[in-house]
Amino acid sequence: MISSRQAPIAPPLEVSEWFNTDGAISLADLQGQVVAIEAFQLLCPGCVSHGLPQAKRIADAFGSDVTVLGLHTVFEHHDAMLPVSLAAFLYEYRIGFPVGVDAHHKPGGMPITMSRYELRGTPSLVLIDRAGRLRLNAFGHTEDMVIGAALARLIDEQPPTSST
């Protein structure tokens, strides 16, 4: 985990469409909260077998102490993973937390938020602290034991004072 002093401010999310939420969600709205973002693609085997189940376990273990979001960062097979497929995927896999579709400047290529966060692929897990700083950016498989420890520490950090 990146120390709070060295951590950069997490870039804003650029989302073209949200699922499982009434309105759009911005990181600014989540200031003061610990946020876990699971970046995935619905046709990514490692996301289905590891990343998304781990995100569910985060939500189950931490409840309201962590805000869990999904981010559908389509950087390949773009036509195969349109929002209509994502909606059915979220329903079939019983994913209940809010999921945003990472926006593209133009069709194809890397989506905007994925580029801003310099994600190396999917699945990636991003942790953001109460002050909006990017504290973990992990590609692939990370043990629950390690993620549980990282989240406990972020939860226990004092929220930033109002002057910040």
Q: Answer yes or no whether residue 146 interacts with a copy of itself by CB under 8 A.
A: yes
Residue type, position 130, single letter: R
Cis preceding linkage at 45, omega within 30: no
Residue type, position 133, single letter: R
Stretch that binds a copy of itself, among 8-16, 99-107, 131-139, 149-157 (CB under 8 A): 149-157
Q: Answer yes or no whether residue 143 interacts with a copy of itself by CB under 8 A.
A: yes
State how far Cα 29 lies from the chain centre: 15
Where b means 16+ CB within 10 Å and e means fewer, 40-71 reads bbbebebbbebbbebbbebbeebeeebbbbbb
Number of H helices, E strands in the chain: 5, 6
Of residues 61, 103, 110, 138, which one binds a copy of itself by CB under 8 A?
61
Give the CA distances from residue 26 to residues 5, 137, 145, 162, in Å, rounded to whole numbers and listed in that order: 23, 18, 28, 19
Q: Tell me how far, at minimum, the Cβ of 98 lies from a copy of itself, in Å.
A: 19
Contact mark string toward a copy of itself, 15..54, x via CB under 8 A: ---------------------------xxxx--x------
Query: How many chain residues are in contact with a copy of itself, going by CB under 8 A?
Result: 36
Of the pair 24, 80, the CB lying nearest a copy of itself is at 80
Token look-up 């995927």 returns: 89
| Residues numbered 104-133 forming contacts with a copy of itself, rule: CB under 8 A | none
Of residues 24, 105, 144, 159, which one binds a copy of itself by CB under 8 A?
144
Q: Answer yes or no whether residue 3 interacts with a copy of itself by CB under 8 A.
A: no
Q: Which residues bind a copy of itself (CB under 8 A)?
A: 42-45, 48, 57-58, 60-62, 76-77, 79-81, 84-85, 87-89, 91-93, 143-153, 155-156
